[in-house]
Structure 1
Amino acid sequence: MLLAVIGAILAFAVRANTSVVSLPTVGIILMIAGGALIWHGRRGTRHQRVITREERAGGSTGPSSTVRQTIEDRDID
């Protein structure tokens, strides 16, 4: 977020003239980079686990059924 804020300041608030670099252009590049970092950080990392187990009703002699469970984790740093 800091990159986006600094980029906005350079693009819209600073009126200094330099012959080496265009500050509004640098500001726009920093705003785009900051926005991309914010977007990437909000996505997080997703993990998906599938657990399959067989259960028997009535002990070991009863009919069996397969249970499938999907667990989805999302890491947000």
Structure 2
Amino acid sequence: MNNRVAHHLNELEGASPSDLIELIGEKDQALQAITEVNWQLTFERDQMQREAAYYKARCIEYQMSEKRRLQVGGEVK
């Protein structure tokens, strides 16, 4: 067993079961909060990627229409 684990076990020695249950509950709440933040960040990242792909496609469309307009010497509507 490494020293860090042994240190944590020594801190918990003599703790009452209710204290340990409360500690586990706090840990579960913290993990749930982290999970929710990760989900939110994933959602925002995916949404930004979709928006970036949309704008990239729009830019390519515009560039192609400009190139066509310049080739024919007219204006594209």
TM-score by length of 1: 0.41
| Structure with higher helix content | 2
TM-score by length of 2: 0.41
- Structure with higher Rg: it is 2
| Structure with higher strand content | 1
* Higher relative contact order, chain-length normalized (CA < 8 Å, sep 6+): 1
